Amino acid sequence: MTESNVRVRFAPSPTGPLHIGGVRTALYNYLFARQNGGKLIFRIEDTDSTRFVPGAEDYIIEAFNWLGIKFDEGVSFGGEYGPYRQSERKDIYKKYVQQLIDADKAYIAFDTPEELDKKRAEIENFQYDASTRMQMCNSLTLAKDEVEKRISEGHQYVVRFKIEPGRDVHVDDIIRGDVSINTSVLDDKVLFKSADQLPTYHLANIVDDHLMKITHVIRGEEWLPSAPLHVLLYEAFGWTDTMPRFAHLPLLLKPVGNGKLSKRDGDKLGFPVFPLEWHDPKSGDVSSGYREQGYLPQAVINFLALLGWNPGTDQEILSLDEMVKLFDLSKCSKAGARFDYVKAAWFNHQYLLKQDAMDWTPEFDKILRANGIQSTPEKEAQVVEMMKMKVIEYVDKENNKKKRNVSFVSDLWPLTKFFFVAPDVYDTEDKFVRKNWKKSENEEECTSTMMKQLLAIIEKVDDFSVDGLKAVVDAWAEESGARPWNAWRVALVGAGQGPDMYELSAFLGKEETMKRIESAISQLG
Ligand code: GLU
């Protein structure tokens, strides 16, 4: 891909953990930048000091690190347009605020919160705009020296953008087409607050898009209402030639019901809405993360990429390179994308299967250790190989019995316990055990008689591998008509689950296999 002038940004406000929708926004920016040979910028929009949450910025950086989304410039990445943290750009914004005031495109307003409340009570649906601004306390209604006096006396003020009513503003949106909004519905947005000497989101976001030469603003649909202001401020500053194009991405919707995806949905249905676990510094609450739940980053990326876009074919498994090739911003859907968390687990299953069994073992080993078991990566990988295609049964948060493929390494433990621990008591109430371990007056018909014969046979097997065992046992079964497999399973597993008996016995070794069969004979009779 050749270099281009495409420059996009992901510009979170560090007000908490990054929502999974924000991850999708960053991903689409990333795909767009890569496929155009452009640059992706990471900007921190931290001008609202009241909403600042310590740790949020580091969390966001760590999340993208884990996900493998790389930025070209920005906070922690550097670049020639920095600083990229807005709280470090105070002086820059002040200059631009002054420029608007001098050009009579913005004005200073002294209205106190009490005065504003009074107006709201007085005027129904009060809005600070062309219809009301001349009744308010601002530099349009006060004499010039009065304004100066108030400022020098330290009165707090805000700077408001003077929006002229009655004009249609057009936003050129790649996904939504021409979106037009009449300026009469807009209020005179606050651009700057004297109290903390900081600009608001509106001003900082737009000034930085200009200074950082942003060519495309790709962000969530919830920001669409801010787009006309973007256009108007670019005009007010005389930057129309470099106006970015917009793409407002579809909302992520609840898995069930109406409305947008929230953390509550995740809590209720049992899926994370954050990439990493988040420890709230204030409340101490812990919210689950995709990483800690056992998701692979590639699976999360693949799942998110298809929420709002698809390649137009049935292909669902896409590498990052393929996504870069196929992604088409103009083909993103306008309608919201339902958050199908069951599908997320399916993607993880697919990506786990792509891995080598050895890659599962660090995580699997941790789980085994937590259950008091010491094994080796080689043994663990063998178990993974035997069990990764099994289906697990589970009870979801709404108490429904469900089945799914092994989708997380942690799914393995309940499926594989018997590889590492012998059944201590055989459950004679278990249907499978009852059905496959028979007692009878006639010794000939007793399962234990057949199992004693099996013991005698396998004791003599020298090559205790799958093939070695199979050759000997199959020959005996053929000749004698014995069908030992289910009872054998009872002895080794204690239930109707697990892999092929030859595989399991070879894994356990001769000694352990015989021990379990002997123990079943003595317990079940
Ligand atoms: N700081 C805004 C946010 O938190 C950025 C919105 C935009 O991309 O313009 O998402």
Which domain CATH number covers 33?
A: 3.40.50.620
The Cα–Cα gap between 522 and 169 comes to 86
The Cα–Cα gap between 31 and 25 comes to 10
Note whether 190 and 201 are within 8 A (CB): no
Based on the domain organization, do 69 and 214 belong to the same domain? yes
Note whether 187 and 148 are within 8 A (CB): no
In the structure, which protein residues have their CB atom closer than 6 angstroms to any atom of ligand 1? 11-13, 45, 205, 219, 223
CA 204–ligand 1 middle distance (angstroms): 11
The answer to whether residue 294 is domain-embedded is no
Ligand 1 nearest-atom number relative to CA 12: 4
State the DSSP code for 251. Answer: P
Based on the domain organization, do 107 and 127 belong to the same domain? yes
Based on the domain organization, do 155 and 194 belong to the same domain? yes
Based on the domain organization, do 193 and 101 belong to the same domain? yes
* Domain with 164 in it: 90-198
CA 465–ligand 1 middle distance (angstroms): 60
The answer to whether residue 114 is domain-embedded is yes
Note whether 179 and 224 are within 8 A (CB): yes
Query: Residue whose CA is closest, atom 2 of ligand 1?
Result: 12
The Cα–Cα gap between 403 and 423 comes to 24
Of 389, 421, 453, which residue sits at a domain end?
Answer: 421
The Cα–Cα gap between 180 and 178 comes to 6
The Cα–Cα gap between 200 and 209 comes to 14
The answer to whether residue 279 is domain-embedded is no
From the CA atom positions of the chain, what is the Rg in Å? 33
Ligand 1 nearest-atom number relative to CA 218: 8
pLDDT in tens, the chain (525 residues): 455 899 999 999 999 999 999 999 999 999 999 999 999 999 999 999 888 999 999 999 999 999 999 999 999 999 999 999 999 999 999 999 999 999 999 999 999 999 999 999 999 999 999 999 999 999 999 999 999 999 999 999 999 999 999 999 999 999 999 999 999 999 999 999 999 999 999 999 999 999 999 999 999 999 999 999 999 999 999 999 999 999 999 999 999 989 999 999 999 999 999 999 999 999 999 999 999 999 999 999 999 999 999 999 999 999 999 999 999 999 999 999 999 999 999 999 999 999 999 999 999 999 999 999 999 999 999 999 999 999 998 888 888 999 999 999 999 999 999 999 999 889 989 999 999 998 888 878 889 999 999 999 999 999 999 999 999 999 999 999 999 999 999 999 999 999 999 999 999 999 999 999 999 999 988
Query: Residue whose CA is closest, atom 10 of ligand 1?
Result: 12
The answer to whether residue 241 is domain-embedded is yes
Closest Cα to residue 484, out of 431, 442, 521, 441?
521
pLDDT given at position 2: 53
Based on the domain organization, do 449 and 476 belong to the same domain? yes
Return phi, psi of residue 399, to 5°: 70, 25
Ligand 1 nearest-atom number relative to CA 15: 4
Which domain CATH number covers 147?
A: 3.90.800.10
CA 44–ligand 1 middle distance (angstroms): 9
Q: How many domains does the chain have?
A: 4
Based on the domain organization, do 106 and 183 belong to the same domain? yes
The answer to whether residue 270 is domain-embedded is no
pTM for the whole structure: 0.93
The answer to whether residue 500 is domain-embedded is yes
The answer to whether residue 392 is domain-embedded is yes
179, containing H or E segment? strand 177-182
Token reading at 188: 């005179």
Based on the domain organization, do 146 and 111 belong to the same domain? yes
391, containing H or E segment? strand 391-395
Token reading at 445: 């018909």
CA angle 96, 18, 289 (to 5 degrees): 170
CA 12–ligand 1 middle distance (angstroms): 5
Query: Residue whose CA is closest, atom 3 of ligand 1?
Result: 12
Q: Would you please indicate which residues are annotated as catalytic (active-site) residues? A: 263
Q: Give the number of C-alpha atoms closer than 13 A to the C-alpha of residue 456, restricted to the C-beta side.
A: 7
Q: Give the number of C-alpha atoms closer than 13 A to the C-alpha of residue 97, restricted to the C-beta side.
A: 26
CA 114–ligand 1 middle distance (angstroms): 30
Based on the domain organization, do 94 and 174 belong to the same domain? yes
Strand positions, DSSP E, 11-137: 39-42, 73-74, 106-109
Of 401, 421, 441, which residue sits at a domain end?
Answer: 421
Size of the chain, expressed as the number of residues it contains: 525
Ligand 1 nearest-atom number relative to CA 219: 8
Q: Give the number of C-alpha atoms closer than 13 A to the C-alpha of residue 38, restricted to the C-beta side.
A: 21
Based on the domain organization, do 72 and 214 belong to the same domain? yes
Pocket test for ligand 1, best of 40, 201, 202, 209 (most atoms within 8 A of CB): 201
Based on the domain organization, do 194 and 110 belong to the same domain? yes
Look at residue 445 and give its three-state secondary structure: helix
CA 219–ligand 1 middle distance (angstroms): 7
The Cα–Cα gap between 104 and 100 comes to 6
Q: Which residues lie closer than 8 Å to 518 by C-beta, 6 or more apart?
A: 455
The answer to whether residue 157 is domain-embedded is yes
Ligand 1 nearest-atom number relative to CA 201: 1
The Cα–Cα gap between 39 and 4 comes to 8
CA 112–ligand 1 middle distance (angstroms): 28
Based on the domain organization, do 415 and 445 belong to the same domain? no
Ligand 1 nearest-atom number relative to CA 9: 8
* Single-letter amino acid, residue 308: G
Of 186, 218, 253, which residue sits at a domain end?
Answer: 253
Based on the domain organization, do 94 and 190 belong to the same domain? yes
Query: Residue whose CA is closest, atom 5 of ligand 1?
Result: 11
The Cα–Cα gap between 202 and 162 comes to 14
pLDDT given at position 423: 92
Which domain CATH number covers 499?
A: 1.10.10.350
